[in-house]
Amino acid sequence: MTTPRPGSRAEQRRRTEARILDAAAQAFLTAGYERTTIRAVASAAGVDAGLVMHYFGSKQELFRRVIDAAPVPEMSGPPEQAAEQILAALAIRLESEPAASLTLLRSMLTNPEAASAASAGIARYEAQIAEAIPAGDADLRAAIISAITLGISVSRHLIKADELATADPAQVISLLRPCMRSLAASPGHGGPS
Amino acid sequence: MTTPRPGSRAEQRRRTEARILDAAAQAFLTAGYERTTIRAVASAAGVDAGLVMHYFGSKQELFRRVIDAAPVPEMSGPPEQAAEQILAALAIRLESEPAASLTLLRSMLTNPEAASAASAGIARYEAQIAEAIPAGDADLRAAIISAITLGISVSRHLIKADELATADPAQVISLLRPCMRSLAASPGHGGPS
DNA sequence: GCGTTCATTGAACAAATGTAGAATCAAATG
DNA sequence: CATTTGATTCTACATTTGTTCAATGAACGC
């Protein structure tokens, strides 16, 4: 069996490891990579610092394990509705940004290793968007869309001292709809002018 | 005279202090607050670490002095051209973001003190934009505009591994024009539906 | 010219941090 | 029950970092 009875050594370890990962995610999210100490993570997980090292090898490795859990937003469906899909994904992020994504975002600005990991994720996301945009400059349009999404997320969830932090998601989405339509529009079906 | 002859003690001090501030700005910009060490700043300025402390008192104070130099973008002119002004300001930021602004941006995500300082600056900027928008939800629109600007700046100058990093500013601006128009538009003069 | 001021340096300290290894104690195994 | 394995903790170390303080030497005022 891969699921031994609770209380067993293997199960206990799995639980402890999960607790450490949770505490680490929380710490990296709120404090960023540099300000997060192994001792603090260990303490939050109710565990000794040495154990964290024993299980994860190093702080960098622990960090990598945390951001490995960051999901890449999925785009699917007909290209005509690209704008609406992007808006829908953004709406979800307005309600509650996945902690891992924000962790990544915050840490990539201070931690070189996080930067490359995050860049990869962002690139994947942009590629998905670009695929859904029927235009010669689809890549740039996708990058702009991604940048806007990023800016909105950062303003709302990280900076916080902002009108956006408390705004009604639906209102934000409706204000951004023309934006996204003009960026994701097929040439000829796009905005005015 | 407030400008004594060159080589004088006062002048020498002024120059040294400026050199330290420059080195600090550069260091905070590229490395963020936490990863920037006083020794590294001092070394880059060709000076001893003790001198930095002697002049600026503490790392926090040095940081404050650096971000005090961050300019707040100015908005002026008739509200009808609000969108074009925002785009013009963004165009400048695309060419070369002021180092101080980016320093602020990067550091505010890791340093609590930087966060409040930056929030104040952003709030001033948003207030200026909001003034130029004749709409009931001007504040939220301004916040979104500010967030978009932030997202574009971060993507281009901080993340870099992005289509935006190498994109032609004019093309970016033209793609964003419908966006900004729809957000800064007077009700009735805005985008389609 | 002489004593003072001040820019600047060098050495050193205390605290924090990532990390390593020995020690401990319960669970697994025979 | 005896032995071993592995989860967990304790102690300690080396390094880094912000910070302090005494020492030095050149510019300044008299």
pLDDT digit string, tens, across residues B48-105: 999 999 999 999 999 999 988 776 666 666 666 889 999 999 999 898 877 777 777 7
Q: CB B56: neighbour CB atoms within 10 A?
A: 21
Q: What is the C-alpha to C-alpha distance for residues A73 and A66, in angstroms, rounded to an integer?
A: 17
Question: What pLDDT does A192 receive?
Answer: 47
Q: Sort out which chain B residues have CB atoms less than 8 A from A147's CB and list them.
A: 148, 151-152, 154-156, 162, 164
Question: What pLDDT does B74 receive?
Answer: 65
Is A48 touching B (CB cutoff 8 A)?
Answer: no
Report, as ranges of residue numbers, the positions in chain A whose pLDDT lies below 70: 1-7, 71-77, 79-80, 113, 186-193
Residue among B191, B158, B166 at smallest CA distance from B31 = B158
Q: What is the C-alpha to C-alpha distance for residues B175 and A136, in angstroms, rounded to an integer?
A: 13
Is A133 touching B (CB cutoff 8 A)?
Answer: no
Is B175 touching A (CB cutoff 8 A)?
Answer: yes
B140:A164 CB<8 A: yes
Residues 69..98 of B with a Cβ closer than 8 Å to A: which? none
Q: What is the C-alpha to C-alpha distance for residues B152 and A99, in angstroms, rounded to an integer?
A: 22
Q: Which range is least confidently modeled, A12-21, A101-110, B8-17, B127-136? A: A101-110
Question: What pLDDT does B2 receive?
Answer: 42
Question: What pLDDT does A2 receive?
Answer: 41
Q: What is the C-alpha to C-alpha distance for residues A15 and A5, in angstroms, rounded to an integer?
A: 13
Does the CB of B106 sit below 7 A from strand D? Answer: no
Question: What pLDDT does B192 receive?
Answer: 47
Q: What is the C-alpha to C-alpha distance for residues A153 and A159, in angstroms, rounded to an integer?
A: 9
Picking from A125, A149, A153, A159 by the largest number of B CB atoms within 10 A of its own CB, the best residue to mutate is: A159
Q: How far is the CA of A38 from the C1' of C22 (A)?
A: 21
Q: What is the C-alpha to C-alpha distance for residues B173 and B91, in angstroms, rounded to an integer?
A: 7
Query: Which of A35, A149, A163 lies nearest to residue B139, judging by beta carbons?
Result: A163
Q: What is the C-alpha to C-alpha distance for residues B3 and B63, in angstroms, rounded to an integer?
A: 26
Q: What's the N-to-C CA distance of chain A in angstroms? A: 65
User: At residue B120, does pLDDT exceed 50?
Assistant: yes
Please give the single-letter amino acid code of residue A173.
I
Is A164 touching B (CB cutoff 8 A)?
Answer: yes
Residue among A111, A98, A113, A190 at smallest CA distance from A149 = A98
Nearest CA to CA, how far is B15 from chain A (Å)?
Answer: 30
Question: What pLDDT does B102 receive?
Answer: 77
What's the whole-model pTM score?
Answer: 0.80
Is B173 touching A (CB cutoff 8 A)?
Answer: no
Residue among B176, B173, B184 at smallest CA distance from B75 = B184
Question: What pLDDT does B75 receive?
Answer: 64
B144:A150 CB<8 A: no
Averaged pLDDT, B130-142: 91
Q: What percentage of chain B exceeds 70 in pLDDT?
A: 84
Q: How far is the CA of B91 from the C1' of C29 (A)?
A: 71
Residue among A141, A130, A140 at smallest CA distance from A191 = A141
